[in-house]
Amino acid sequence: MPLANSTGSVGLGQSSATTSHTSTAAKPIVIMGAGPAGLTAAWELIRAKQDVVVWEADPTYVGGISRTVQAEGFRFDIGGHRFFSKSKEVNEVWRQILPDDFIDCPRLSRIYYKGKFFNYPMEAMDSFLKLGPRETYNILVSYARARLKPIKPEVTFTQWVTNRFGERLFNIFFKSYTEKVWGISCDEISADWAAQRIKGLSLREAIISALRGKKAPPTAKTLIRNFFYPRLGPGQMWETAAEKIMNAGGKVLLDRRVQTIHWDETGVTHVTGTNQQGEFFQQEGSYFLSSIPLKELMLSLDPPPPKEVLAAARALRYRDFLTVCLVVNRAEVFPDTWIYIHDPSVKVGRVQNYKNWSAAMVPDPKLTSLGMEYFCFEGDGMWISTDFDLAQLAIREAIQIGLIKEGEVKDAFVVRMPKAYPIYDRDYQKHVQTIRAWVSQFANLQPVGRNGMHHYNNQDHSMMTAMLAARNVMGGQYDCWKVNTEAEYHEDGDAKNLDTGDAKD
């Protein structure tokens, strides 16, 4: 079976913008990373006629975790990427970048658990029929118990969810999937993560949403039924953004890994790094925005930060992610956009069906491509498995779940994405605080984005931190750390909270 590892060239290829080895008289604003945050910052600045240079480590793709990988004409996401935001400004930026190719995508997602498929968002009748009257009774009793006698203090993910859903539902619908995602026990995961991701959702609300049916919009954002999606996948948004930034005079340079960030008493002065051939590059700047992982930012500073700051940076952890894309020789495999796999008997955590997001993700309508998603740690057994072994595992598990039959897979591709998730363990906040306090001394350096701020942000909040940081460069006074932390910080709409994500992404 031919296997490809993140093959195919997509996006911008080598930027036509020239490489800058040294500065010119007027120093540009340097942006590290060309994911949604870095490119949004560049977008905002270039529209205000500022001079920007973006350094992106990847030799092929922009878009970071929100890229679209291409192989043999198939397109796939790093996890399915829904475009949904309560922020008018974020929606406007998406529309400005991609005015014509943004499709409305209906969501159909289910949970696979103990051999059955449950609708998700939960539909009361469906869940109760599949769980049976005894389990339903147990769930309601355990919910009532949790409401009457909540666990206090509420420190861990287990406690947070149990208090809102009861122990029984926690075990069925949260525990195994969450532990697959994070690779650690729910007792070690901070309640913050649940509060940020599933805020606004409760059993009561889930039932109300289910009873309302598809006509009324759900009230919690975890239950969003429709979302926008670029016709050619999320990467199309960011490839187009990069093209437009370059057309407006900005530079987006691929294959430029920032390795050292140089500073002195005046602030950050320049960055240096190499491409994959080992060639050395240097870029001076007036201002620096960093969307590279916060840990990496701290460890790249020269001179290095004090010992306690370095220790805090080293303590930040990430969860990594890989997708095995299976090409199935069948036009229709299942109707869902994605399926959550809660069943602990398989390792796969979620299965995407890309053509149900957009038909253009598959080159031949007679075929289907499935994304078998595995959560892992860089360097662990899963991560270092050969692509062939990973494909065999994915095929075996897809057959075991009943999605495909023996002999139906034509081809497979493996994509590994390091640092997909910043881990919210019990101490992460303390470490981020230590780093934040020290970094605030720099008047010309701002961390932005998801890993850039070690904040579990979706694209919209990653973008929003970047928009505000870009405005700070031009004299604004925003606190980017408040985005997705404090209610409605710089967000339009009537949301009572800022979460736009899914408890399960």
Ligand X SMILES: Cc1cc2nc3c(=O)[nH]c(=O)nc-3n(C[C@H](O)[C@H](O)[C@H](O)COP(=O)(O)OP(=O)(O)OC[C@H]3O[C@@H](n4cnc5c(N)ncnc54)[C@H](O)[C@@H]3O)c2cc1C
Scanning 29-37, 92-100, 144-152, 406-414 for contacts with ligand X by CB under 6 A, the matching segment is 29-37
How many residues belong to the site for ligand X (CB under 6 A)?
37
55 binds ligand X (CB under 6 A): yes
291 binds ligand X (CB under 6 A): yes
**From candidates 28, 64, 230, 235, binder to ligand X by CB under 6 A:** 64
Tokens of 402: 């009943």
Nearer to ligand X, 291 or 446 (CB): 291
Residues 324 and 416: beta-carbon distance below 8 Å: no
Cβ neighbourhood burial of 380 (10 Å; 0-12, 13-18, 19+): exposed
Residues 497 and 71: beta-carbon distance below 8 Å: no
**From candidates 457, 470, 473, 490, binder to ligand X by CB under 6 A:** 457
Distance of alpha carbon 450 from alpha carbon 461, whole angstroms = 8
**From candidates 44, 56, 387, 411, binder to ligand X by CB under 6 A:** 56
Window 214 to 273, contacts with ligand X (CB under 6 A): 257-258
Distance of alpha carbon 481 from alpha carbon 436, whole angstroms = 9
**Exposed e or buried b per residue across 139-148, where buried means at least 16 C-beta atoms within 10 angstroms of its C-beta:** beebbeebee
321 binds ligand X (CB under 6 A): yes
Provide CB contacts within 8 A for 241, sequence distance 6+.
Answer: 39, 40, 42, 43, 62, 97
**From candidates 309, 458, 473, 503, binder to ligand X by CB under 6 A:** 458
Nearest approach in angstroms of CB 498 to ligand X is 13
Scanning 80-88, 102-110, 354-362, 485-493 for contacts with ligand X by CB under 6 A, the matching segment is 80-88
Nearer to ligand X, 258 or 467 (CB): 258
Which DSSP state fits 423? -
Nearer to ligand X, 37 or 220 (CB): 37
Nearer to ligand X, 142 or 290 (CB): 290
Provide CB contacts within 8 A for 381, sequence distance 6+.
Answer: none
Nearest to 223 by CA among 128, 338, 120: 120
Distance of alpha carbon 300 from alpha carbon 274, whole angstroms = 13
445 binds ligand X (CB under 6 A): no
Nearest approach in angstroms of CB 56 to ligand X is 5
Q: Would you give the binding string for ligand X spanning residues 389-428, x where CB under 6 A is met?
A: -------------------------------xx-------
**From candidates 68, 70, 459, 484, binder to ligand X by CB under 6 A:** 459
Nearest approach in angstroms of CB 40 to ligand X is 8
Tokens of 458: 């979706």
298 binds ligand X (CB under 6 A): no
Scanning 64-72, 146-154, 203-211, 337-345 for contacts with ligand X by CB under 6 A, the matching segment is 64-72
Distance of alpha carbon 423 from alpha carbon 431, whole angstroms = 12
Scanning 36-44, 395-403, 431-439, 471-479 for contacts with ligand X by CB under 6 A, the matching segment is 36-44
Distance of alpha carbon 280 from alpha carbon 20, whole angstroms = 11
Q: E-assigned strands of 41-175?
A: 52-55, 68-71, 74-77, 102-106, 109-113, 116-120
Nearer to ligand X, 143 or 340 (CB): 340
For the beta carbon of residue 268, count every other beta carbon within 10 angstroms: 21
371 binds ligand X (CB under 6 A): no
Nearer to ligand X, 253 or 328 (CB): 253
Tokens of 298: 């701290």
Nearer to ligand X, 356 or 457 (CB): 457
Name the residues that contact ligand X, by CB under 6 A.
32-38, 55-58, 64-66, 78-82, 257-258, 291-292, 296, 321, 420-421, 449-452, 457-460, 462, 505
